Amino acid sequence: MNSMDSNQAKSSLLCSPEASPSQRTLNPYVTGTSVVALKYKDGVLMAADMGGSYGSTLRYKSIERMKPIGKHSLLGASGEISDFQELLRYLDELTQQDSMCDDGNSLGPKEIHSYLIRVMYNRRNKFDPLWNSLVLGGVKNGKTYLGIVTMIGLNFEDNHVATGFGNHLARPILRDEWRKDLSFEEGVRLLEKCMRVS
């Protein structure tokens, strides 16, 4: 019996055959960097690169880290890509349940942000956090919403947010140059400036 067989035997003794051992993300492997978002006078703008880093190496160059959620929201994520994909499965189930109600109403960005806060905090309390910082923005009934939630459930709503290194490099620029009456074009230029430094 080689060492691999003995390890499998020990593993099978520790848990029942129908239950597999619990697995947790101990270290993120493929990660995305900064997401930067801001409110402008007619809505919300969000920017992120499409890179997926394996350690310090840019391993994947076309990973989508921003996804529309429902009819009114856009979600951006930095951190572990596989955990983001798991979150998207949760959100897909949530939006399908909402759609099946067929009541003429749909989840807005505030409701989805609240759901994400609960999911992230719940996973943190189980000592199995999803290694992501999430930005959720959207417009419903003419009201813009922009919020952030971290891997431990810390959350807030603001006029401009950034995750990852962008929180340190882009936020000072946003604090200096953001204003409520930004046009779409001015907002895009401001986001481009922020993405150049983060």
Provide the pLDDT confidence category of residue 115 given band limits of 50, 70 and 90. Answer: very high
The answer to whether residues 75 and 198 touch, using CB atoms and an 8 Å cutoff, is no
- When the candidates are 3.10.129.10, 3.60.20.10, 1.10.3470.10, 2.40.50.140, the CATH number that belongs to 30-197 is 3.60.20.10
The pTM (predicted TM-score) of the whole model is 0.84
Report the alpha-carbon distance of residue 9 to residue 162 in Å, rounded: 47
Structural contact between residues 50 and 66, judged by C-beta atoms closer than 8 angstroms: no
Q: What is the mean pLDDT of residues 145-165?
A: 96
In the chain, pLDDT over 70 holds for what percent of residues?
Answer: 87
Report the pLDDT averaged over residues 135-145: 96
Predicted confidence (pLDDT) at residue 12 exceeds the cutoff of 50: no
- Per the document, the length of the chain is 198
- Per the prediction, the chain carries an average pLDDT of 89
| Catalytic machinery residues | 25
- Bridge-based pairing of strands 73-80 and 143-149 is unpaired
What is the CB neighbour count within 10 angstroms for residue 12? 11
pLDDT at 2: 53
Q: What is the pLDDT of residue 120?
A: 97
Q: How confident is the model at residue 104 (pLDDT cuts 50, 70, 90)?
A: confident
pLDDT of residue 28: 82
pLDDT value at position 16?
54
pLDDT at residue 142 greater than cutoff 80 = yes
Rounded to an integer, what distance in angstroms lies between the CA atom of residue 22 and that of residue 31?
A: 22
Per-residue pLDDT, 198: 80
